[in-house]
Structure 1
Amino acid sequence: MITGKVKQYIEKEQLFAPHEKLLVALSGGADSVALLRVLLQLGYSCEAAHCNFHLRGAESDRDENFVRQLCLRLQVPLHVTHFDTTQVAAQRHISIEMAARELRYEWFEQTRLACGADLIAVAHHGDDSVETFLLNLIRGTGINGLRGIRARNGRIVRPLLCLSRTDITDYLHGIGQDYATDSTNLHDEYTRNKIRLNILPLLQQINPSVKESILQTARHLDDTYYIYKKGIDEGRQRVYDGSQISIPLLLQEPSPATLLFELLAPLGFNHAQIDDIFASLTGQSGKVFIASEWKVVKDREYLLIENRQHTARPPQLQTEEQDYYPGFPIPRDKNTACFDAGKIQHPLDLRLWRQGDTFVPFGMKGKKKVSDYLTDRKFSLVQKEQQWVLCCGNNIIWLVGERTDNRYRVDEHTRKILIIKLLTR
């Protein structure tokens, strides 16, 4: 019996307890209808949730009406929402498929909280896991992408992964339960449909049990993943401190290219970018690699990792003016700058340094480029980008937290001293 097989799978994977309430994602298709019917037959407390994405015209409304009638007959509380999916995809600059996925899961979680459900049950089955394996293999992926679909991911559970698509349709026919058919599943415009309709039948000609073989491989890789992840986590601790990757330490690792992939792929860098970053490790400094939210900068001995969403915030400064007298205790730390107040014209301007900026470093007579000073101090490229300067008119009087300008120094003619303290960077 299908219900017995699902019950065993739920218990084996420890997906949820008998007392937990489930919000069932109900599209109206065979898999989701089977999921609801099986869970109800097993005695679980269920409510249903249906999204109308308005992507298939009258067919979308037909599915909604079918779901309403089914839940009415089964006496299952139903939650329905409508989305202008095409508009959201355009606003978010993503594909329609991705927009539908994001909208669906965002709303499912909101509805779960509103109705007091413990978990969201979705109807992915074994064939979906096979297709996902092949899809990731075709697109290119690490070991994580070849593990198939997870039985549980946070609040999302998938009780039907132990079943095939044929198991599901046979079950529905056996209990006399109809379901809605998505006509887009019968066409191969989408990559997943091409795999289902064209590639898998061809593979089955070579090996009639290819689906089970793929699922067995995915299960094996799932077990292997935990050993692999342990090695990656240990390597991460050796080479990465959260803001930079040590190039010399990375190159000492058993598989530096693989470790680099696992460090950077979660930040949105693709295979080609990571290959380019790895190739740059023995090259000149200064190369910059950009993903949607993160930036990697090749420095001398480090790959510097910076979140592009974090704009440089100006440091907080505290200013006070005091009378100056011989023997005045002038602070010597880099976070405090002292100037002859009579040489300063207000207001002062705080900004990030720019190419071409110069100043006269304290104790020197000639001008020096700020870029040369920062290079001499062995600043990384990211540190250089975040260096602030305090200006009086067109002149820099302080590389904040570093060095003051000699032209504004305290001397024997000073009557008042301006003290500026760096409070936060």
Structure 2
Amino acid sequence: MIKHRIAQYIEKEQLLTLQDKVLVTLSGGADSVALLRILLSLGYTCEAAHCNFHLRGEESNRDENFVEQLCHKLNVTLHVNSFETQAYACDHKISIEMAARELRYNWFGALAKEHDHTAIAVAHHQDDSVETMLLNLIRGTGINGLLGIHPKNGMIVRPLLCVTRDEIIDYLQHIGQEYVTDSTNLEDEYTRNKIRLKLIPMMQEINPSVKEKLFQTGSHLNEVATVYQYTIEEGKTRVRTEEGVSIQALLSEPSPSALLFEMLLPLGFNSPQIEDIMQSVIAGQSGKQFVSNQGWRVIRDRELLLIYKVGEKEENNTTPPFQLIYEEVEYTPNFSINKDKNIAYFDADKLKEKLTIRKWKQGDTFVPFGMTGKKLVSDFLTDRKFSLLQKENQWVLCCGEKIIWIIGERTDNRFRIENSTRRVMIVKLQ
């Protein structure tokens, strides 16, 4: 019987104990109703949570009324929350489906904390897991996307993953329990519904047990994924540096593409983007940039892949992460100059305008110490073999509009100390 199999599955996967206080997510659909009835019959202490997303007019209110009556009949405490889902999706520039997901899981977490629930039970079943596998496969995924839905993720548990949708319906009919049907599940509107209503039936024409086989494949891949993930984490450690990913180290890995895929996919880069990034690594195309849909940027530099959040490097654009200490002294014939690059010396009488600090910008020029002609700061940094990240983080000290010091690198020859110098401005980088 289905109830016995679910009890065995809960024990095998260590999803729940009888001491848990379980929050059951209750939509009113067959799967969530079956989940609540089965957990109660197995002796678990349950409360229910229902979300009204106001997306289906009267159907949304019908579902809320149904779960209220069911919980009253079963003597189960019910928590209900109404959401302005469309407004949330618009404000956050995300899809309706993603908005509903964020809203419900944020609320479930807050509710569990407020009422001391130790687990949140959701009603995903075997069919959902198979659909997720196919959805990920269509969109492009790594090995983790082929595992289907996980039985447990933190407080979230899924006791019904061992049974199919048809088995759930049979169980409810056997015990005479009604449920409501979401009409959108019968529409060919969303991608998942297309997989459920079109793709899987076509696959079943080839192999009637395709859903069972796919679910079994996901289960078999779990152990493979454990070994794979361990190897990936070791690889990440080998290729990461403080500034980014070492290209030489990446190309020395057994499978650079797979390692790069697992590093970048969680940051919102899709498969074609990651392939393009890998191609830029192989082709040596320095300077190419890629931005993910989660706001992460990858820049292909000479020796590194620089990876950072868009805007992260601009946050401190006007506030230098260091201090400059100024000291003016008299110049004497035995004046000693320290060769430390973090100390700069200038003829104080040549500094006739206000001293300021800023980031260098394209078009900036200066006269490098020891030279007579102007040089672009960008060319100077390139000659110094600066990475793109180092270039972005380079500051300059200016006297009026003129750059007098590429801070930590080279001073301007026009402001050097000469035999006629009377006073010296010493600037120390700290």
Which TM-score tier does this pair reach, normalised by the shorter chain? Answer: over 0.9
Cα deviation for residue 41 of structure 1 reads: 1.3
Aligned to 2:405: 398
Aligned to 1:302: 304
Aligned to 1:286: 287
* In 1: Cα distance, 2:227 partner to 2:302 partner: 33
Q: Structure 1: which 5+ runs fail to align?
A: none
Aligned to 1:62: 62
Q: Are 1:131 and 1:195, in contact at CA under 8 Å, matched by a contact in 2?
A: yes
* In 1: Cα distance, 2:359 partner to 2:311 partner: 17
* In 2: Cα distance, 1:80 partner to 1:408 partner: 72
Q: Are 1:238 and 1:249, in contact at CA under 8 Å, matched by a contact in 2?
A: yes
- The Cα offsets for residues 356-383 of structure 1, whole Å up to 9 and x where unpaired, read as 1111222333222111110111101121
* In 2: Cα distance, 1:276 partner to 1:70 partner: 53
User: Which is worse superposed, 265-274 or 283-292?
Assistant: 283-292
Change in Cα spacing, 1:107 to 1:328, as seen in structure 2 (3 Å) is farther
Q: Are 1:321 and 1:416, in contact at CA under 8 Å, matched by a contact in 2?
A: no
Q: Are 2:357 and 2:397, in contact at CA under 8 Å, matched by a contact in 1?
A: yes
* In 1: Cα distance, 2:311 partner to 2:16 partner: 38
Cα deviation for residue 164 of structure 1 reads: 0.7
Aligned to 1:318: 324
* In 2: Cα distance, 1:299 partner to 1:291 partner: 18
* In 2: Cα distance, 1:73 partner to 1:332 partner: 85
* In 2: Cα distance, 1:353 partner to 1:168 partner: 65
Which residue identity does 1:288 align to in structure 2? Q
* In 2: Cα distance, 1:129 partner to 1:396 partner: 62
User: Which is worse superposed, 78-87 or 308-317?
Assistant: 308-317
Aligned to 1:40: 40
Aligned to 1:23: 23
Aligned to 2:345: 338
SS of aligned partner of 1:160: helix
Matches within 5 A, 1:411-422: 411-422=418-429
Aligned to 1:371: 378
Cα deviation for residue 128 of structure 1 reads: 0.4
* In 2: Cα distance, 1:186 partner to 1:321 partner: 78
User: Which is worse superposed, 232-241 or 5-14?
Assistant: 232-241
User: Which is worse superposed, 320-329 or 188-197?
Assistant: 320-329
Cα deviation for residue 341 of structure 1 reads: 3.1
Residue 356 in structure 1 maps to residue 363 in structure 2: yes
Which residue identity does 1:42 align to in structure 2? L
- The Cα offsets for residues 32-65 of structure 1, whole Å up to 9 and x where unpaired, read as 1111111111111222111111100010011111
Which residue identity does 2:358 align to in structure 1? R
Which residue identity does 1:310 align to in structure 2? E
Aligned to 1:134: 134
Matches within 5 A, 1:205-220: 205-220=205-220
Cα deviation for residue 257 of structure 1 reads: 1.7
- The Cα offsets for residues 117-140 of structure 1, whole Å up to 9 and x where unpaired, read as 112111100110011111111222
Q: Are 2:369 and 2:413, in contact at CA under 8 Å, matched by a contact in 1?
A: yes
SS of aligned partner of 1:284: coil
Overall identity of the aligned pairs, in %:
61
* In 1: Cα distance, 2:95 partner to 2:234 partner: 36
User: Which is worse superposed, 277-286 or 341-350?
Assistant: 341-350
* In 2: Cα distance, 1:75 partner to 1:328 partner: 90
* In 2: Cα distance, 1:64 partner to 1:335 partner: 68
Residue 174 in structure 1 maps to residue 180 in structure 2: no
Q: Are 1:348 and 1:391, in contact at CA under 8 Å, matched by a contact in 2?
A: yes
Residue 261 in structure 1 maps to residue 297 in structure 2: no
User: Paired residues, what number?
Assistant: 423
SS of aligned partner of 2:162: coil
Q: Are 2:327 and 2:425, in contact at CA under 8 Å, matched by a contact in 1?
A: yes
Q: What is the TM-score with the length of structure 2 in the denominator? A: 0.93
User: Which is worse superposed, 282-291 or 112-121?
Assistant: 282-291
SS of aligned partner of 1:296: strand
* In 2: Cα distance, 1:34 partner to 1:309 partner: 47
SS of aligned partner of 2:286: coil
Q: Are 2:47 and 2:76, in contact at CA under 8 Å, matched by a contact in 1?
A: yes
Change in Cα spacing, 1:222 to 1:338, as seen in structure 2 (3 Å) is same
Q: Are 1:243 and 1:306, in contact at CA under 8 Å, matched by a contact in 2?
A: no
* In 1: Cα distance, 2:252 partner to 2:340 partner: 38
SS of aligned partner of 1:300: coil
- The Cα offsets for residues 210-238 of structure 1, whole Å up to 9 and x where unpaired, read as 11100111111111111211222222222
Aligned to 1:84: 84
SS of aligned partner of 1:295: strand
* In 2: Cα distance, 1:410 partner to 1:171 partner: 91
* In 1: Cα distance, 2:58 partner to 2:35 partner: 25
Which residue identity does 1:389 align to in structure 2? V
- CA root-mean-square deviation: 1.8
Cα deviation for residue 406 of structure 1 reads: 2.3
Residue 147 in structure 1 maps to residue 147 in structure 2: yes
Q: Are 1:335 and 1:400, in contact at CA under 8 Å, matched by a contact in 2?
A: yes
Which residue identity does 1:15 align to in structure 2? L
User: Which is worse superposed, 299-308 or 216-225?
Assistant: 299-308
Cα deviation for residue 275 of structure 1 reads: 1.1
Q: Structure 2: which 5+ runs fail to align?
A: none
* In 2: Cα distance, 1:75 partner to 1:233 partner: 48
Q: Are 1:239 and 1:246, in contact at CA under 8 Å, matched by a contact in 2?
A: yes
